Amino acid sequence: MKILIVEDEPAMVELLRYNLESEGFDVVSAHDGEEGLLALEEEQPDLLLLDWMLPGVSGIEICRRVRRDAKQAGLPVIMITARGEEQDRVRGLDVGADDYVSKPFSPAELLARIRALLRRRNPDVGAEKLKVSDVELDLVAYRVRRGDRELHLGPTEFKLLRYFMERAGRVLTRDQLLDGVWGQNVYVEDRTVDVHIRRLRKALNEAGESDLIRTVRAVGYCFERA
Ligand code: CA
């Protein structure tokens, strides 16, 4: 899961980055509003941590724009602020933030809120079994079924399918798949993604079932919910 931090205090960014990365999240950051809006487009994060007081475009304004943008409307947003007043809390939630933490806050509290929010948005995150359409992926037993049929996947196809299922219904770019499945510091060619998608499709659709992986021309792939 990728988290975008938009925050102008470098020390706060580093504290958040350290805590989130130790919990296994991928972290990207922006230090002002304009950069934040750009990063939202380019990075397509799974959750946004947004500082209220930013130079340039404010956190409130970013939140408003996120909620107006059809592509990002479902993005979970947590506002971070130095102001603890009830009135500001209400205003933050008014413009569409899902949750709110006031500085100073404990990293443990923030992590708990992040997890709760991600679970609320996608109950499958952190679960032992994922189920989308007629595909069931068991993360403990390491087994995959489509309907009554057991699928035999290689380790990369298994990771790829898991990544897709946790983000079902979202269009994922090749870059997102590369970062999410192979890791950010690994050099893999774009066409490697296509090779593994082809293998995954073959295993999934072996019995002539409908293709659950939709190719979105010039963008990437989407795992269909139904
Ligand atoms: Ca600030």
Top-tier CATH class for 2-121: alpha beta
What is 129-223's CATH number, 3.90.1150.10, 1.10.10.10, 1.10.287.130, 3.30.413.10?
Answer: 1.10.10.10
Is 213 in a helix, a strand, or coil?
A: strand
Cα(7) to centroid of ligand 1, in Å? 6
How high is the pLDDT of residue 218?
84
- Do 129-223 and 2-121 have the same topology in CATH? no
Residue spans of the domains in the chain: they are: 2-121, 129-223
Cα(15) to centroid of ligand 1, in Å? 14
Cα(54) to centroid of ligand 1, in Å? 5
Cα(6) to centroid of ligand 1, in Å? 9
**Token pair of 30 as six digits:** 């922006």
Cα(66) to centroid of ligand 1, in Å? 19
Query: What are 178-224's pLDDT values in tens digits?
Result: 888 988 777 888 789 999 999 999 999 987 889 999 998 888 899 98
The owner of tokens 């079932």 is 209
Cα(117) to centroid of ligand 1, in Å? 23
How high is the pLDDT of residue 84?
60
Cα(68) to centroid of ligand 1, in Å? 23
Position 28 pLDDT exceeds 90: yes
Cα(203) to centroid of ligand 1, in Å? 49
How high is the pLDDT of residue 34?
94
More confident call, 104 vs 223: 223
Query: What are 115-172's pLDDT values in tens digits?
Result: 888 877 766 656 688 899 999 999 888 999 999 999 999 999 999 999 999 888 888 8
Cα(28) to centroid of ligand 1, in Å? 17
How high is the pLDDT of residue 126?
60
Do residues 17 and 29 touch, judged by C-beta distance below 8 A? yes
Q: Measure the CA dihedral 2/168/190/27, to 10°.
A: 0
Q: What burial letters (b/e) apply to 181-208, b meaning 16+ CB within 10 Å?
A: bbeeeeeeeeebbeebbeebbebbeeee
Position 9 pLDDT exceeds 70: yes
Cα(48) to centroid of ligand 1, in Å? 15
Name the pairing type of β-strands 143-146 and 213-216.
unpaired
How high is the pLDDT of residue 140?
82
* DSSP code string of 37-98: HHHHHHH--SEEEEESS-SSS-HHHHHHHHHH-TTTTT--EEEEES---HHHHHHHHHTT-S
How high is the pLDDT of residue 185?
72
How high is the pLDDT of residue 81?
82
CA 137 to CA 130: how far, in whole Å? 5
Cα(105) to centroid of ligand 1, in Å? 14
How high is the pLDDT of residue 12?
92
User: Radius of gyration over alpha carbons of the chain, in Å?
Assistant: 19
Query: What are 46-93's pLDDT values in tens digits?
Result: 899 999 888 889 998 999 998 887 667 678 999 988 766 666 666 767
Cα(120) to centroid of ligand 1, in Å? 27
Cα(70) to centroid of ligand 1, in Å? 27
Name the pairing type of β-strands 213-216 and 171-173.
unpaired
Q: What is the pTM of this model?
A: 0.62
